[in-house]
Every structure is written in structure tokens, then in C-alpha cells.
Amino acid sequence: MKQKKHSTEEIIRILLEDEGQRRDIQRRFEFIHVDEFQDLNIAQLLFVELLSMPHNNQFLVGDDDQMIYGWRGAKVSHLIDFPKRYPYGKTFVLSTNYCSTKKVVRLSGYLI
């Protein structure tokens, strides 16, 4: 039998309404890792926060110069406002680019 696929919004509703199911799912994940954090829309952001409760053990990776999903509700402010949203979180800036030459990095910086 084929299972019905739920939208992110439907999953959030289920998790908010069913405390037992929410806690069961939260217990399954000790840590949550999200890559391309800047591309999350508000529903996805809420889903990540619900999964990571109550410990909020999140490892979020993002680049405020690479947001490409604004058309589906992604907001770079989620990444920029990280220190406000997660006051006990730590930010680590990776300033070395190992994928491109210095000239490519410098010229792309001018474009950005």
C-alpha cells in the first residue's frame, strides 16, 4: 500500500497537535544537521526547531551570499538573525575557500 505524502505544513500541524507523536519523533534525533540553512522557508525552519526540541542540538550550515530559493519563501534573514534566534548558539565563519582560486574568489566578491 502506498503511503500518503504530507506537506511540511501538514507534518508541523501533526507534530503540534499530537504531543505523544512529537515527543517520540524528537527522541529519535539527538542532533539535527541542516545544510543550506539560508534556503529554508518558515515552515521548514519551524520543522527543524520542532525536531530539535527540547535540547536544540542543531548544526546549521549556510551562506548568506548563496540564497536561491526566495521564490518559495526562503529568507536569508533566518541565517542573518541566527544570533538573535539562538542566543546560546555559536557561529563559526569559514573564510578559506578550498574549491576556487584566489582570483575567482576575489572577482566573485566584487560581483556579490
Burial class (CB in 10 A: 0-12, 13-18, 19+), 1: exposed
Domain ranges, ordered by start, for the chain:
8-111
- Residue 48's pLDDT is 93
- Better pLDDT: 93 or 47: 47
Contact predicate 75/103, CB 8 Å: no
More confident residue, 78 or 27: 27
* Domain 8-111 -> CATH class: alpha beta
How much is the pTM? Answer: 0.77
